[in-house]
Chains A and B, each alone.
Chain A
Amino acid sequence: MFPKLKIHQTLLAPPLFWLLIFFIIPMAIVIGYSFGLGGVSSGASSGFTLQFYKQALSGMYLGIFLKSFGYAVGATVLTMAVAYPIAYYMAFASDRTKMIIMFLIILPFWTNFLIRMYSIMTILGDNGLVNNVLMQIGIIHEPLKLINNSFGMYVGFVYWNLPFMILPIFSSLDRMDVSMLEASLDLGANHRQTFMKITLPYSIPGAVAGIIFTFIPTLGNFIIPEFLGGTGNTMIGNVITSQYLQARNWPFGSALSTVLMFIVMIFISLYIRYFDPTKSKNMVNF
């Protein structure tokens, strides 16, 4: 290990201060509100109470939590299904192809998120590109409902999460020594067995990181349901937003947020427990 120097503490001070002001204090405020400790400014009566948590875990809201959870799981599975082949192809492609794909993956980040959402709406809308083309060539006679339903929402989630899934899987596969695959073939395994026994286990740490990067932001996402989900597809993020902005029931919004945070923390803890990213091997033993 490298020696700890005095200057480390000095250099750490600004980020620590930043975290204190913009992370720890706001979080403390949110948790405080959720127990009804906010006073008049919070938009509700003061005094310690658990009623907001009771409400957050009551039938309707519990349902939305579960539904959000379901969407996050579904979006993660779909993203994985799309991302893995791309990452695999990329890892074993030539350096030039790698560069090109990497560029294409990063390219969307150069455009504003709202513009990208609107362009998805234009492409998938009733008069959008997809429906127009399909009607022109006569496959369908009336437009398909591609947005304002869960399909549109999944498209949005997969689109949004793809880079965060591809890159960690790619980076774990890319580190893989090709001679390991040759060794497996050499010892009598066919390509499928080699993939199952060697490649797949090797990519698991990357895949798990990708799942974390996909699942957690999706669970709390409120923009994609808003744009592409239509009226029937409310996720917990939307409820929290509306509690803060429309209903102005900050304590209840805070309680929902805290529950969400708690759920996320469970997943992160599981991740660290089984796939500790700080352990040098970055390998899983089954």
Chain B
Amino acid sequence: MLELKNLSKSYGSVKAVKQVDLTIGKGEFFCLLGPSGCGKTTILRMIAGFEKVSGGKILLGGRDITNDSPNKRDVNTVFQNYALFPNFSVLDNINYGLKLKKLPKSELDARTEEVIRLVGLGGFEKRMPANLSGGQQQRVALARALINQPQLLLLDEPLSALDKKISEQTRNELSELQKKVGITFVFVTHNQTEALALADRIAVMKDGLIEHCDKPKEIYERPLTHFVADFIGSMNFFECTVTHSDEQISRLEIPGMGQITLSYNQIQQVGAKVLFCIRPERIKLSLLESSEFENCLGGIIRQKHYLGEITKFIVELSDNKMISVVCQNYLLQLSNEFYDIGEKVNVIWSKTSGELIHVS
């Protein structure tokens, strides 16, 4: 539906977007995720037509729109600061686009009413934007864009200006809304939780390039690069060397700590330097030795942070290596396990857990 071919953007000598290729399907909720300055907003602005393309093409529904002006594109945008027109009422903001199209009044009214109902703004039509809460302004921005029934809706960090509760609520509504209207959404955010919760597919960006583009589950569980593994959630990394690899398992040597085993169906080159990464919640603490299905390293608890539903431990392994371990408080209480700072523990994880990243 939307195709970016070799898309690049430079500001003078600075390359903000470097030859990005991307295809987004019809009806997809797609998310561009990355830290600030990674080029995600630039891509969005190029799709909307606010930034001139330095190289490459943008195709929408098969048609080349690379050089079309923003008002000629079947694309609408929800801006980060909403960019509502302060001198227009909610109603006039919402039907701004339709009025320009000079639709018959009956159709204009019907569509306006429908979209107001869709975003739940009934009763607010006469209000001015300045007299609305952040969440309500966000709905107006959404309604104003959706009323044009574009092929593609672009959302530029629409939730970042809202406080946490409202943002979560709006997130759920946004997801439902997208399913209801069936319009393709391209959502830009630096917030990984939003991206994981909303998107059908995520493209993680860094320095103008897409590092990894896949479903949220794949991104989280099988990150392709060190950056993606580190950016999404939290991750423990071990630099290690492959000592054995076959179709079932790989054995890795962590210098100064010993051998670990990983059930992994990709054969690794023996002697290769790789990065073993494992999520804190996949590791458990124990005073006992591991079973044969598990890996085990010894360490001392250095920090303990109680965070409500979980407790986060920082454990020092040999070689001053610090890793984080996250335990569900409920499970700790259930099994009567209480660990304290200074205690010697084993950190244990299943041989099926963890992922390998090749170090270039």
- Top 4 nearest A-B pairs (CB, nearest first) are A187-B97, A179-B83, A183-B83, A185-B70
Task: Write out the residue numbers on chain B whose beta carbons fall within 8 Å of the beta carbon of A182.
Answer: 48, 50, 70, 77, 79, 83
- Closest chain B residue to A193, Cβ basis: B100
- Closest chain B residue to A202, Cβ basis: B87
Query: In the complex, how many angstroms separate the beta carbon of A184 from the nearest chain B beta carbon?
Result: 7
Would you call B87 and A183 a contact (CB within 8 A)?
no
Query: In the complex, how many angstroms separate the beta carbon of B309 from the nearest chain A beta carbon?
Result: 38
Task: Write out the residue numbers on chain A whose beta carbons fall within 8 Å of the beta carbon of B75.
Answer: 186
**Besides A187-B96, A197-B85, 20 other A-B contacts (C-beta < 8 A):** A179-B81, A180-B83, A180-B84, A182-B77, A183-B84, A183-B144, A184-B96, A185-B50, A185-B70, A186-B49, A186-B75, A186-B77, A187-B148, A188-B71, A189-B71, A189-B96, A198-B85, A202-B87, A281-B130, A283-B87
Whether A189 touches B85, Cβ cut-off 8 Å, given contacts A179-B79, A182-B70, A183-B77, is no
22 contacts between A and B (CB under 8 A): A179-B80, A179-B83, A180-B83, A180-B84, A182-B50, A182-B77, A183-B77, A183-B144, A185-B49, A186-B145, A187-B71, A187-B96, A187-B144, A188-B71, A188-B97, A189-B100, A197-B85, A202-B87, A281-B130, A283-B87, A285-B87, A286-B87
Task: Write out the residue numbers on chain B whose beta carbons fall within 8 Å of the beta carbon of A283.
Answer: 86-87
- Closest chain A residue to B80, Cβ basis: A179
| B interface list, Cβ under 8 A from A | 48-50, 69-71, 75-77, 79-81, 83-87, 96-97, 100-101, 128, 130, 144-145, 148
Query: In the complex, how many angstroms separate the beta carbon of B288 from the nearest chain A beta carbon?
Result: 59
Compute how far the CA of A283 lies from the CA of B85 in the bound complex, rounded to whole angstroms.
Answer: 11
Task: Write out the residue numbers on chain A whose beta carbons fall within 8 Å of the beta carbon of B80.
Answer: 179
Task: Write out the residue numbers on chain A whose beta carbons fall within 8 Å of the beta carbon of B100.
Answer: 187-189, 193
Name the one of B50, B76, B77, B81 contacting A177, with C-beta atoms under 8 angstroms. Answer: B81
**Any chain B CB within 8 A of the CB of A201?**
yes
Would you call B130 and A188 a contact (CB within 8 A)?
no
**Any chain B CB within 8 A of the CB of A284?**
yes
**Any chain B CB within 8 A of the CB of A190?**
yes
**Of residues 144 to 193 in A, which have CB atoms within 8 Å of B's CB atoms?**
177, 179-180, 182-190, 193
- Closest chain A residue to B75, Cβ basis: A186
**What is the number of residues of chain A that contact chain B, defined by CB distance less than 8 Å?**
22
Task: Write out the residue numbers on chain A whose beta carbons fall within 8 Å of the beta carbon of B144.
Answer: 183, 187
Task: Write out the residue numbers on chain B whose beta carbons fall within 8 Å of the beta carbon of A179.
Answer: 79-81, 83
Query: In the complex, how many angstroms separate the beta carbon of A87 from the nearest chain B beta carbon?
Result: 19
Task: Write out the residue numbers on chain A whose beta carbons fall within 8 Å of the beta carbon of B84.
Answer: 180, 183
Compute how far the CA of A184 lies from the CA of B141 in the bound complex, rounded to whole angstroms.
Answer: 12
Task: Write out the residue numbers on chain A whose beta carbons fall within 8 Å of the beta carbon of B130.
Answer: 281
Would you call A186 and B86 a contact (CB within 8 A)?
no
Task: Write out the residue numbers on chain A whose beta carbons fall within 8 Å of the beta carbon of B77.
Answer: 182-183, 186
Task: Write out the residue numbers on chain B whose beta carbons fall within 8 Å of the beta carbon of A177.
Answer: 81, 83
Would you call B87 and A186 a contact (CB within 8 A)?
no
| A interface list, Cβ under 8 A from B | 177, 179-180, 182-190, 193, 197-198, 201-202, 281, 283-286
- Closest chain A residue to B92, Cβ basis: A197
Task: Write out the residue numbers on chain A whose beta carbons fall within 8 Å of the beta carbon of B83.
Answer: 177, 179-180, 182-183
Name the one of B49, B50, B71, B97 contacting A190, with C-beta atoms under 8 angstroms. Answer: B71
- Closest chain A residue to B96, Cβ basis: A187
- Closest chain A residue to B141, Cβ basis: A183
Task: Write out the residue numbers on chain B whose beta carbons fall within 8 Å of the beta carbon of A189.
Answer: 71, 96, 100
Name the one of A185, A198, A201 contacting B71, with C-beta atoms under 8 angstroms. Answer: A185
Task: Write out the residue numbers on chain A whose beta carbons fall within 8 Å of the beta carbon of B76.
Answer: 186-187
Would you call B48 and A180 a contact (CB within 8 A)?
no
Query: In the complex, how many angstroms separate the beta carbon of A178 from the nearest chain B beta carbon?
Result: 9
Query: In the complex, how many angstroms separate the beta carbon of A192 from the nearest chain B beta carbon?
Result: 11
Query: In the complex, how many angstroms separate the beta carbon of A113 from the nearest chain B beta carbon?
Result: 38
Query: In the complex, how many angstroms separate the beta carbon of B220 from the nearest chain A beta carbon?
Result: 32
Compute how far the CA of A281 lies from the CA of B144 in the bound complex, rounded to whole angstroms.
Answer: 22
Compute how far the CA of A190 lies from the CA of B69 in the bound complex, rounded to whole angstroms.
Answer: 9
Task: Write out the residue numbers on chain A whose beta carbons fall within 8 Å of the beta carbon of B70.
Answer: 182, 185-186
Compute how far the CA of A76 lies from the CA of B120 in the bound complex, rounded to whole angstroms.
Answer: 47
Would you call B85 and A186 a contact (CB within 8 A)?
no
Task: Write out the residue numbers on chain A whose beta carbons fall within 8 Å of the beta carbon of B85.
Answer: 180, 183-184, 197-198
Compute how far the CA of A4 lies from the CA of B48 in the bound complex, rounded to whole angstroms.
Answer: 51
Query: In the complex, how many angstroms separate the beta carbon of B194 from the nearest chain A beta carbon?
Result: 21
